[in-house]
Amino acid sequence: MKTLLKNGTLITASDTFQSDILIEDEKIARLGLNLEVDSDQRIDAAGKLILPGGVDPHVHLDLPMFNTVSSDDHYTGHKAAAFGGTTTAMDFIPLTPPPHPVGEGQRGEGDFQYSVDLWMKKAEKAAIDYSFHMNLTQFNDRIAKEIPSLRGMGIQTLKVFTAYNGRLRIDDGSIFRAMQIARDNGMLVMAHCENGDVIETLVGKALAAGHTSPEWHALTRPGWGAIDATLRVAGLAAESDASVYIVHMNMGGEVDMLKYARERGVKVMGETCLQYLFFTIDDLRRPDGAKWICSPPMRTEKDNARLWEGLRDGILQTVGTDHCPFFLDGTKPIIYEGREIAIAGKELGKDDFTKIPNGLPGIQDRLPVLWTQGVGTGKISANQFVELTSANPARIFGLYPRKGSLLVGADADIVIWDPQKKVSYGVSKSHQRTDYNLYEGWELKGYPEKVFLRGKLIVDGDEWKGKRGDGKFLKRGEGEIL
């Protein structure tokens, strides 16, 4: 199957230029002006932009939480991603114990191979290409010895937490040892940075005082704890000479700490997420404030502004989503692909903010909203947009140039982008399987027109042409330090 894209303007992380593209056997076969070849399909992209498919480095699909599960799985979430121009998504695997002990003294301990196999099974329905990160939420000598085995499974990344005491957090000494192992094996450590001890203290006090509304989710997770933890993790990276990637940075002070560390040669990189560029604690104070509950929480307008500066100035390397949606009211079904579906959601915490499932939809929203609010307002350039949402995630996580590029030999993950298309955005345009959208009523300018996954047209305007199982698991190699 040969597809010829004619007369488009290609946007990469470094260049903007006119070119035709020949797609053959899932790959970009030729680039050049005035290409004339026999093809099965010819598409005129005059007046349109051609971008590499988006790479979302941070999503949570089919994730159990608070006696429910995130409402998008590896089909519905991937379908939504594709409608927003994203063709690769990276999910996180919880470290899970097998149903029976794997050896003496190991009852209840997580097992890497078992955990990966569970998530591979979930992802059999994948609609776009995907990869995984491994959550490192337990640590002992056995787990330490088995960390390098993840490379053989195509997983190059470990995620650690400085919060969620007694559940996900491991101590700083264990994080340091994990960093040393990662360094010796060409792996990358990702870090969720908050101060878990402070959070546990403040949550207890808030509940004892009868504070149960959504704003207390933010008030009990103070921003200075995130700043402190970011610098602490950077310090551990410096001492271990490891490579570290700070996820979902939300405080302006975190940008300052990242800049401080990078200027001193620490191999640390930073991600922010779409929601932290626009929303604040005031959104949690609204009657529907549960919509905005995620961890870390929304901060202030000053933090929004500093994060934008971090993107503009190259201090931050990526924009992800931390996509982990839940219904606002899971007692009321929605129609998805012609069928009713209802999944318990944020109503579970209507009387207690600690019981509201933490997470937001965003996997479809990322590119259209960032284009309008970033490129459209001059905060970032079109090339920076591609860099932050596609090329840099691919480079950091060992997928470049197969993903995140428009180079001969790369996978033909291509978005034909209409920079003039105007969209009144919200639930009616979203394919995220939940009952609300954070950007309801926003007027967007610039939107995907056609989306190709390895040369197959999977989104054509409002028409879904993809299917379950279209996606492939991507075994990753060693990534770059940017």
Say whether both 174 and 29 belong to one domain.
Answer: no
Range of the domain at 28: 2-51+404-464
In a domain, 456, yes or no: yes
Last residue of a domain, one of 396, 418, 435: 396
Closest CA relative to residue 294, chosen from 309, 279, 308, 311: 279
The total number of structural domains in the chain stands at: 2
Three-class secondary structure assignment of 33-83: CCCCCCCCEEEECCCCEEEECEEEEEECCCCEECCEECCCCCCHHHHHHHH
Last residue of a domain, one of 379, 396, 413: 396
pLDDT at 108: 66
Say whether both 14 and 138 belong to one domain.
Answer: no
Give yes or no for a contact between 246 and 280, defined as CB atoms under 8 angstroms apart.
no
Say whether both 364 and 219 belong to one domain.
Answer: yes
- Could you tell me the maximum CA-CA distance found in the chain, to the nearest angstrom? 73
H helices of 223-328, where? Answer: 223-240, 252-263, 281-284, 301-312
What's 378's DSSP letter? T
pLDDT at 469: 98
Question: What's the CATH code of the domain at 26?
Answer: 2.30.40.10
Q: pLDDT tens digits for 335-372?
A: 999 999 999 999 999 999 999 999 999 999 999 999 99
Here the tokens at position 406 are 């428009």
Closest CA relative to residue 437, chosen from 377, 383, 360, 372: 360
H helices of 332-463, where? Answer: 366-370, 382-386, 392-396
* Structure-token match 């079109």, residue found: 382
Q: Pairing between strand 188-192 and 244-246?
A: parallel
In a domain, 474, yes or no: no
Here the tokens at position 7 are 């007369």
Say whether both 89 and 21 belong to one domain.
Answer: no
Here the tokens at position 385 are 């947009």
How far apart CA 432 and CA 343 sit, in angstroms, is: 13
pLDDT at 101: 57
pTM above 0.95, yes or no: yes
Last residue of a domain, one of 368, 396, 424: 396
Q: pLDDT tens digits for 384-441?
A: 999 999 999 999 999 999 999 999 999 999 999 999 999 999 999 999 999 999 999 9
Give yes or no for a contact between 90 and 56, defined as CB atoms under 8 angstroms apart.
yes
Give yes or no for a contact between 88 and 403, defined as CB atoms under 8 angstroms apart.
yes
Cβ contacts of 86 within 8 Å, gap of 6 or more: 53, 54, 55, 56, 128, 363, 364, 366, 367, 389
pLDDT at 99: 85
Cβ contacts of 7 within 8 Å, gap of 6 or more: 18, 20, 44, 45, 46
Say whether both 293 and 174 belong to one domain.
Answer: yes
Q: How far is CA 262 from CA 189, 237, 273, in A?
A: 16, 11, 20
Say whether both 142 and 216 belong to one domain.
Answer: yes
3-state helix, strand, coil in the chain (%, to 5): 30, 25, 45
Say whether both 288 and 334 belong to one domain.
Answer: yes
- Rg (the chain; Cα; Å): 22
Residues of the chain with pLDDT under 50: 104-105
Say whether both 120 and 106 belong to one domain.
Answer: yes
Q: Pairing between strand 339-341 and 334-336?
A: antiparallel
Q: What are phi and psi of 305, to 5 degrees?
A: -65, -40
Instruction: Give Cα 388 to chain centroid, integer Å.
Output: 12
Give yes or no for a contact between 158 and 178, defined as CB atoms under 8 angstroms apart.
yes
Question: What's the CATH code of the domain at 321?
Answer: 3.20.20.140
Say whether both 45 and 71 belong to one domain.
Answer: no
